[in-house]
Structure 1
Amino acid sequence: MTNSAVRQDVTACILCSRNCGLSVEIENNQFKKIKGDEQHHFSQGYICQKAARLQHYQQHADRLTSPLKRQADGSFTEVTWEQAIQEIADQLVHIRNTYGGTAFTSVGGGGQGNHLGAAYGRQLLYAMKSFYAYNSLAQEKTGDFWVNGRLFGSQACHTTEDVEYADYVLFIGTNPFQAHGIPNARDTLKHIKKDPNRTMVVFDPRVTETAKQADIHVQLKPGTDSYLMSAMIAIMLREELYDQAFIQQHTHGFEEVKKAFLAVPVEQYIQKADVSVELIYQIVRDFAKAKSGCVRIDLGIQHTLNTTLNGYLEKLLYLLTGNFGKQGTNNLHTMFVPILTNTDERNPKYRRTVYHKMFPISGFFPPNILPDEILKAGDQRVRAVFVDSCNPLLTYADTAAYEQAFQSLDLLVVVDVAMTETARLAHYILPAHSQFEKWEFTGFNLEFPKNGFHLRHPLFKPQGNTLPEAEIYTRLLEAMKVIPKQFPILSKIAEKDSDKTAFLAYFTVLAASFAKNKKQIPFAASIVYRTLGKTLPDDAASTALLLPLCMQYAAQHYKAVKQAGYLGNRLNLGVKLFQAILKQRSGIVLSQHEYDDVWSLIAYKDKKIRLAIPEMLIELAQLKQQAAKLSDSFPFILLAGERRSYNANQIYRDPAWRKVDAEGRLRMNPHDAADFGVETGHTLQCVSEHGNIQVVVELDEGMRQGVVSLPHGYGIRYRDGEPIGPQLNRLTSTEHCDPLSKTPYHKYVPVRLERVDA
């Protein structure tokens, strides 16, 4: 990897959940050219403009190259790994033994495309006897996961959609042209647009790039999604447009749902959304009649009023019409990497937080409550935080609250590749390899019926004195004396067993070891890393934990793995799968299911969907009393976090990567701008009840009047300079959120605009 000659290789993009395959040219340990990898099983050569600039992630002035310790004056000094690990371990043990597990939490872990390290970082929670894990999934998706738990029997049941095969697609609160989220988004949208037998409907307050390609754009008022979707379901039920046979065969609770929605005042609710009543009737009738209808949603309805109810309503749209469990509809899928768990709050064993009494959803806690759990929980407050591949000071609601909370901690450790805004507050900064300097994968393998997985090998020699997360966390566990530094018997067996087909001897000894010492089971990842990992080729030790996952997946989905083309029996099929993952540089197809297999993925024993969710039906009834009126003090609605051509997750720190929109401009309707006497390029003050920032204006006729938008991914202090672009979360509040999931209302932030010269 040190050769300066130009060489070809393959990897994957790390900027969104699609993780498209990339074909790259490398010279002098850097990207020279990036294009799509035609050999990748899923993206097949597709690429967007953001991935082509990944060199700005790999090489920039904020890269960390050695462990840092904060000094009394706020500056940082370089320390050795040995000193940093031991000092952190000693403080962690002291905090755990003095204050208990509630004193520690992890934040982040598994940043976009950076999921291998998360499996090792999770072990630190067990070592600290903690159950607090906060991350971006809980900032965005847990309302959806909670609904899945009630509908399908487990919060680990996750839905996907067959957009590319659908005859009639509803895009609700999503702009896949920019946000992707569907296979080869821009090509897929183009194919739907060109096909006269297919229909695309977009529900969005803004004329997005996707809306411009749609057959129908429903430009509803922000925050009215629940009214509009409940009206659509009521039309379905009133006109008997539902699939009676499907409902009878596959569901429970229909009559209860029908009774609740027949009470919905259809025309009144559609008028609340400020769209055409006749148009909505037409859409419902055509969607119900479609051979294959599909619904795709995203943060537009997950970050706005009635977040969790929205997740329930969008699922009823396709479930009541029978658009589930067949090609071109919505489906469940297998999950190779167990990102989600089932933590139903009705189970008393799942403990709640101290101050908010908040329960975990799919194993995670919402970032909106963390500042309070640090500042307001008294003697049981959070005192130590590990932040991994995450920048909560900029990406979570209420930057000021996070600054105050993190500055009050006894211990803040940041594991990252860059000097982020959060890292600047840390007591210790532990520098990790970049995602292209280590073995890595992405756990977003969310496809059905064909599912895949891509293990990325290292492309570059690591910069400076950095380590992969597997090594960082394993050293910490050893320093905390949670696990020993050596496992002589296991290591010996692993070396002898490495050439065998099934690793039977190794896993037999490992199981016996765990049976004798159950306290070591939570640290299996590091134990396998230290023993079996050493026997893997190409320094792939950190990937060893994938072997037991392969064995589990092959046992659970034996027929589907065989149908994907793997030769083996029930004893060794998982090993064959693991070997293929290690070998195939452009990723593999894990499994090939049949559409009927969807029903086996439902967690309820009778494999039937529970349509009636009592909490959601109560929320539905309460919509009639809900008042979403704007005040004179804050007459505009800000859509915070818009996806654009040149914003991405915050792994891009150098602003030079942007070809356009360097300021992250505030988009507003020309009529609104005229009221302020401003044009594109002028400056306004954007003020919320919580804070204020200066913004640069851009006129956009696609914005509704009274609605403005700002992009995410800005506000970074590159090279310790001034923030570049809007720091959105100076405007947002941790309290402005869904009452059940605590998901923030980023797409419904009341603001006012002021002239800077006023």
Structure 2
Amino acid sequence: MPKSTIVSEQTHFRTCTLCEAMCGIEIKHDGKKVLSIKGDSNDPFSEGYICPKATALQDLHEDPDRLRQPVQRTADGWKPISWPKALDQVAAGIESVQKKYGQNAVGIYLGNPNVHNMGGMLTVKHLLNSVKTRSRFSATSIDQLPHHVVSMHLFGHMLRIPVPDVNRTQYMLIIGGNPLASNGSIMSAPNMRQKLKDIKARDGKVVVIDPRRTETATMASEHHFIRPATDVLLLLAMLNEIYLQGYANKVPASTNKAAALAPEIERIATFAQDYSAESVARITGIEATEIKRLVKEFCEAKSSVCYGRMGVSVQEFGLLCQYLIMLINIVTGRLDQVGGLMFPNPAVDVVNNTGPGYLGKRHSRVSNLPDFNSEYPVAAMSDEMLVEGDGQLKAFISVAGNPVLSTPNGAKLDKALGQLEFMVAIDYYVNETSRHANIILPPVSPLEREHYDVTFNNFAVHNVAKYSPALFAKHSNAKHDWQIYLELAKRLDKKAPIKTKVERSLISALGPKFLLDQGLKRGPYEGLTLKKLLKNPHGIDLGVMQSMLPQALKHKDKRIDLNVDFYLTDLERVQTMRQQYDAGQILLIGRRHVRSNNSWLHNSYRLVKGKSRCTLMLHPQTAAQQGIEDGQLVKVTSRVGSVVLSAEVTNELMPGVVSIPHGFGHSRKGVIQRIAQAHAGVSVNDLTDDTLIDQLSGNAAVNGVPVQLEAVEPQSIEPAAIEGQSFTSLATEQQQSGTSIAS
């Protein structure tokens, strides 16, 4: 082989940034191109495991649809624009709207990928502070907001969230969670399949309660169907049974440290007294004898943990459900105990370096929903743009998000974005949301940036620390997210305090890794520095979770504040629901898949292979009642809209429940993601209702949406044309300008 064709293979170790699991990966490359991606067997956290998503890191980096430089929307399509001009125009657009309508007329949305980005997480405050608007939103309120509120109330900080000690528990009760698809979720835990197998192998038990027989339910010891959005009744009945069966009093005070630290614990004995197992059985679909047995087994196990996730959080009683899950763990002595719920001890102590959070200091202008930690619920976002009056949103900044596909009543938000006076997206795709922007500012790909999991080590089931340098150097005409934030802050916040300007100058010169190094040096592990992490590319094992009470508590009195009165008020809504419950309704739920992550991995050709995953799952009984056959097109209609997709008749769903996966719907005009468009599917959030919310927290309720079904003939449906900017013409424009938007 001629020397000129010899490839010099190199190896790079890093953390996969595409979900919460923080899997270690080993990348073979030649300095310019990825040759292979596989699991890093020496990573102390994932031990060689990776899921199919890891290969998408290569797809994202090489994607010809990915933007490489700023673009501006014109009457003739997207045009490349220089960074200085783009940043100047963005700043001018924001300032113009604020001068005309007020500071709060500009809204900001932070999408899910932000928390997977070290530089973004450590510096986004500079963007937020420079815009000086109260109109802030994020993916938090369509996801994990109830977790944060409960932890803020009970433990004194919104990020002091205990996670299941899955590596040592004997009994795991999973309600509304599918960790085999999510690799955890507010429980960073790679290779959950093996972890659940290990529980069963040590004569333990895994029980799943879910309206769908999920991937997790299939391998569990047992699975129970439950009617969507009735989890609150089941949890109330379980809490009641714990006291009726005497288990709350069987745990010695010396053992149940958490209960001893909760002054209001005696009030919990009567909290759920009106909810017997018999009274909830018909509505939930779980027999009273089974509820009582589950409580008995949970309490008598050597160790046990109750864990609830998305299916519990994103419903009309999401906050009360998460509160009840925490109460069940506390009164049975499972909080801060080996095999129960335990507090991670991350190397970068985010809890001690951020504010505790708050709920309801302000309320949204139109729907009067409470803010949380300076963010309004996303369910309020469309109305804030559409309803005229003082404070109406006239401009919008979307940062690494696609809320048109990921927030309730996406069609309404789509319309709202289309009538704004100015919009900017910080994103490297022209997607369903960013297509409305006047200017798109694209950051580098994940492989071109350094990484440390600032966020997800807070939820890790085993304490570790790992730093990953960038694999590839960014192009000279490219910018990191943090560079974009700082450039905009410099233009928008010219009168910033000297201290702030100095900090921004240091970050600009040294990069965010100097902030990381400071965080490590101030953390709980003496001698742990960035330099030490650089010498350990596979990561450093910091040990199993340990008991952390009362030190973990952030309340000044070092007590657990159960905040009973706040949660008691919501029982009135529960009573109303129980009295008015319509068992004849067909209810819609979402679903996740291990080869997907919300809407942002559907342009990876590796991950969309195989048969279509965007189908309407429904039970054979429901299909027969509605006259629907497997594979037939079905029109699904809710209060806010309709979609048409193919039926998948399966015993995975309980009767009366249908399921559509989250994140699809890529056929809207103007999207430039060719692979995603070829696998467009429909958006479940064209059906979810922005008026269905958890009133207590403001979190969106996208599970348990009432829908109607109608079998349709193919000839009665007009095929959805994929319209919009031609990518060929865009590429031609790049060549003519001598620049590159996409490779």
Is residue 187 from structure 1 mapped to residue 197 from structure 2 by the alignment? Answer: no
Kindly state the Cα deviation for residue 117 of structure 1 after the two structures are TM-superposed.
1.7
* C-alpha displacement of 1:434: 0.5
Do the aligned partners of 1:256 and 1:612 also contact (CA within 8 Å) in 2? no
Residue 119 (structure 1) shift:
3.1
Q: Is 2:118 the counterpart of 1:169?
A: no
Q: 1:602 is matched with which residue? A: 553
Distance of aligned partners of 1:629 and 1:726 in 2 relative to their CA distance in 1, 3 Å threshold = farther
What letter is aligned with 1:212? Answer: T
Q: Distance in 2 between matches of 1:635 and 1:592?
A: 49
Output the CA distance in 1 between the equivalents of 2:84 and 2:460: 46
Retained in 2: the 8 A contact 1:164–1:183?
A: no
Asked if 1:49 is matched to 2:63, the reply is no
* Contact persistence 1:646–1:660 (CA under 8 A): no
Matched, 1:543 2:513: yes
Deviation at 1:341, TM superposition (A): 3.7
Asked if residue 66 in structure 1 is aligned to residue 69 in structure 2, the reply is yes
Pairing partner for 2:586 from 620, 636, 640 = 636
Deviations 1:171-193, CA, capped at 9 Å, x for gaps:
11111111211342111012123
* Alpha-carbon shift at residue 712 of structure 1 (Å): 1.4
Q: 2:646 aligns with which of 672, 696, 700?
A: 696
Could you tell me which residue of structure 2 aligns to residue 471 of structure 1?
483
**2:521 and 2:460 mapped to 1: Cα distance?**
20
Aligned to 2:39: 36
Q: Residue 143 of structure 1 corresponds to which residue in structure 2?
A: 146
| Deviation of 1:18 (Å) | 1.0
User: Against the structure 1 CA distance between its residues 691 and 419, is the aligned structure 2 distance closer, same or farther, given a 3 Å change threshold?
Assistant: same
Amino acid corresponding to residue 274 of structure 2 in structure 1 = A
Aligned match for 1:670, one of 614, 620, 631 = 620
CA distance in 2, matches of 1:594, 1:659: 39
Evaluate the alpha carbon distance shift between residue 520 and residue 139 of structure 1 in structure 2; reply closer, same or farther with a 3 A threshold: farther
CA distance in 2, matches of 1:523, 1:369: 34
Look up the match of 1:219.
Answer: 225
Does structure 1 conserve the Cα–Cα contact (< 8 Å) formed by 2:43 and 2:538? yes
Does structure 1 conserve the Cα–Cα contact (< 8 Å) formed by 2:106 and 2:135? yes
Tell me the alpha carbon deviations over residues 326-364 of structure 1, each in whole angstroms, 9 at most, x when there is no partner: 211102334526387423236xxx444433444432443
SS of the equivalent of 1:445 reads: helix
1:343 match: 357
User: Contact (CA 8 Å) 2:623, 2:649: kept in 1 or not?
Assistant: yes
Aligned partner of 1:577: which letter? T
Number of matched residues? 689
CA contact 2:120–2:481 (8 Å) conserved in 1: yes
Please name the residue that 1:453 is paired with.
465
CA contact (8 A) 2:467 2:530 kept: no
> Residues 55 and 723 (structure 1 numbering): CA distance in 2 closer, same or farther, change over 3 Å?
same
Amino acid of the structure 2 residue aligned with 1:526? R
Q: Please say which of residues 692-701 and 655-664 is displaced more in the overlay.
A: 655-664
Tell me, in whole angstroms, the C-alpha distance in 2 between the residues paired with 1:601 and 1:249.
15
Match of 2:730 in 1: none
For 2:529, the aligned partner's letter is: L
Q: Give the aligned partner of residue 602 of structure 2.
A: 653
**1:728 matches 2:698:** no
RMSD: 2.7
Report deviation, 1:596: 3.1
Q: Which residue of 1 aligns with 2:741?
A: none
Partners of 2:549 and 2:388 in 1: CA distance: 44
1:331-730 equivalences in 2 (<5 Å): 331-334=342-345, 336=348, 338=350, 341-345=355-359, 350-376=361-387, 378-442=389-453, 443-447=455-459, 450-462=462-474, 465-480=477-492, 482=494, 519-522=497-500, 526-531=504-509, 533=510, 541-553=511-523, 557=524, 561-562=525-526, 566=527, 576-589=528-541, 595-627=546-578, 635-640=585-590, 642-654=591-603, 656-657=605-606, 658-717=608-667, 718-719=673-674, 721=677, 724-730=680-686
In the superposition, relative to structure 1, how do residues 705 and 607 fare at CA in structure 2: closer, same or farther (>3 Å)? same
Change (3 A) 1:233 1:470: same
Q: Which residue of 1 is the match for residue 700 of structure 2?
A: 744
- Counterparts in 2 of 1:753 and 1:223: CA distance versus 1, 3 Å: same
> Whose RCO is larger (CA < 8 A, sep 6+)?
2
Query: How far is the alpha carbon of 1:677 from its aligned partner?
Result: 4.4
Deviation at 1:583, TM superposition (A): 4.2
Query: What CA distance in whole angstroms lies between the structure 2 residues aligned with 1:713 and 1:705?
Result: 24
Give me the whole-angstrom Cα distance separating, in 2, the residues matched to 1:332 and 1:325: 7
CA contact (8 A) 1:67 1:84 kept: yes
Deviations 1:371-414 (A, max 9, x none): 12222262322222221111111111111221122122222111
Are the structure 2 counterparts of residues 690 and 522 from structure 1 closer, same or farther at C-alpha, using a change threshold of 3 Å?
Answer: farther
Question: Measured at CA, do residues 622 and 86 of structure 1 come closer, stay the same or move farther in structure 2, by a change above 3 Å?
Answer: closer
Match status 1:210 vs 2:166: no
The answer on whether the counterparts of 1:18 and 1:180 sit within 8 Å (CA) in structure 2 is yes
- The one-letter amino acid paired with 2:237 is A
Give the Cα–Cα distance (whole angstroms) in 2 for the partners of residues 363 and 455 of structure 1.
30
CA contact (8 A) 1:15 1:649 kept: no
Aligned to 1:105: 107
Question: Is the Cα–Cα contact under 8 Å of residues 51 and 594 in structure 2 kept in the other structure?
Answer: no
On the 8 A contact 1:36/1:45 being kept in 2, the answer is: yes
Question: Which amino acid is 2:438 matched to?
Answer: H
Distance 1:462 1:265 in 2: 61
Distance in 2 (alpha carbons) for counterparts of 1:449 and 1:607 = 24
Aligned residue among 144, 156, 161 for 2:159: 156
* Alignment partners' CA distance in 2, 1:525 and 1:297: 40
Tell me, yes or no, if the aligned pair for 2:10 and 2:31 is still in contact at 8 Å: no
Q: For 2:490, what is the secondary structure of its paired residue?
A: helix
Shift of 1:585: 2.7
Is residue 17–residue 112 contact of structure 1 (8 Å, CA) maintained in 2?
Answer: no
Q: Distance in 1 between matches of 2:196 and 2:289?
A: 26
1:227-306, aligned counterparts within 5 Å? 227-242=233-248, 243=251, 245=253, 246=256, 249-306=260-317
Contact 2:264 2:562 in 1 (8 A): yes
Q: Output the CA distance in 2 between the equivalents of 1:525 and 1:40.
A: 34
Give ranges in structure 2 of 5+ residues lacking alignment: 668-672, 717-743
Residues 175, 208 of structure 1: 8 Å contact kept: yes
Aligned position for 2:737: none
* Structure 1 CA distance for aligned equivalents of residues 439 and 284 of structure 2: 49
Residues in 1 aligned to 2:616 and 2:89: alpha-carbon distance in whole angstroms: 45
**One-letter amino acid matched to 2:176:** G
1:568-619 deviation line (CA, Å, top 9, x unaligned): xxxxxxxx52322344333334x55872323201112332222342121122
> Any idea what the Cα deviations from partners look like across 1:606-633, whole Å, max 9, x if unmatched?
322223421211223542232486779x
* 8 A Cα contact 2:342 2:547, kept in partner: no
- After superposition, residues 125-144 of structure 1 pair within 5 angstroms as 125-144=128-147
Could you tell me which runs of 5 or more consecutive residues in structure 1 were left unpaired when the two chains were aligned.
484-517, 534-540, 567-575
Cα drift, residue 647 of structure 1: 2.4
1:494 corresponds to: none
Cα distance between partner residues in 2 of 1:477 and 1:114: 19
Shift of 1:707: 0.8
> 1:694 Cα deviation (Å)?
1.0
Q: Summarize the Cα distance change of 1:444–1:523 in structure 2 as closer, same or farther, 3 Å threshold.
A: farther
Q: Tell me, yes or no, if the aligned pair for 2:377 and 2:700 is still in contact at 8 Å.
A: no
The 8 Å contact of residues 231 and 269 in structure 1, kept in 2 or not, is answered as yes
Q: Structure 1 length normalisation: TM-score?
A: 0.85
Residue 709 of structure 1, CA deviation? 0.8
